[in-house]
Structure 1
C-alpha cells in the first residue's frame, strides 16, 4: 500500500544551498554594495576567532560557494583562491585568545565581524551577517541570517575565507610548537589535543584559559 501524502504543508522550504537572491534584491532597492560576513573558530580551545567580510562581484560569482563546513579542505582552498581573485573586496580580522578570555566568545565573534567589515576597501550599504545577532557598531544597515552560510553566497564566501585563514594560522602555530599538534585539530578539543594539554599545560597567548578544561583547573 502506498504511503498517504501528508496534508500538513511545510512551514517553510529548506534551502538546497546558498544563492545570490538576497544580494540582488538589495541591489534593486539601491542597497549596494552588499557584504557578507561570517566567523570561524567559536568552539576551539585554542587560537583566535577569525572573521571575514566579502563583497562579491555579481558578474563574476565564483563556483563552489557553500557553507565551509560542507566543503573538503581541497574544495575550500580552491574556492578561497577564486573568491580573493574575483571579489570586489575581501577583509579578514581576528580576535586573539587573550581578548576572548577578557569578554566571551560571542562578543569576540561579533567584534571580529565588525572589524572585518570595517576593513573592506569598499564601504557596503548593507551587511548580511551569519547567525542570530547583528554585530554592534556596523557602519551601515546589517541583517542577521540564521544559517546564512547556507543561504547567501556572500556569507558562504566569507565563511570560506575565515575558515581557510584560521586553518592556516593554526597550521603555522603547530609548526612553531609541535607539542600540541595544532595543524591536525586546529585547536579543537580532540583527544590528542586534550592529552597534550594534560602533559604540557596550556600555552600562553594561544589557549583560551576561560574555556574548560582550563577554567576548572
Structure 2
C-alpha cells in the first residue's frame, strides 16, 4: 500500500510542470431581462482554470461569436490584457461600461472588458470563444463553446455554465442580485467574478496530503 501511495505522489509531482498552461473557459452568460428593459447589455464571463496567466501580447487575442461560430462575425474582446490563474473577466456588448458598473455597484468587480459583436437571444443561444493572433480563420481557433437554454422564464438570471443552471440568489457559486431593478421591478442575478482555486495551489495541497499520508504509514 505504501508503494502505491508513493507512486501516486510521484505522478502528481511529475504532473506539476506538465500542467503549466492557461485554460480559459466560459463560465457565465447573461442574455438580459424579461419582461421589461434590459439593465445592461448582454455579457459573458471567462475564467482561467489554468496555472499560468493568459497574456494577449504573447498568447493571442480573444474573439467572440454566438452559437453560429462564424469567424467572419468574430468580434475582438477589448479592455482586458491578461487573465491570471483563478481570475475571471467579464465582457459586455457595449462601448460604454457606465451602465454596467452602476447596475453592479454592490459587487467588487474583477476585470471588465467590451466587445462589439452579436447580441444574445432570450430564446437560447451560445458563446463561442476564439483565440487567435490576428482575425480567426477557422474552427481550429475555437477554445471554448457554451450554450444556454430558453431564458424567457428566467429573465435577469445569468446562466451559470459551471452549475448547468440559471443563477439563483445564494446558489453554490454565491450569486446575488444587482444593485438596481429594471422598469418591471426585476433585478439581475449573477455570480460575477467568483474565484476558482489555482491548479498549482491545488496540486501543492495534494502533494502535501500525499506526504502526510506516506509519513503516517511508516
More helix per residue: 1 or 2? 1
TM-score of the pair, normalised by structure 2: 0.26
Structure in which a larger fraction of residues adopt strand: 2
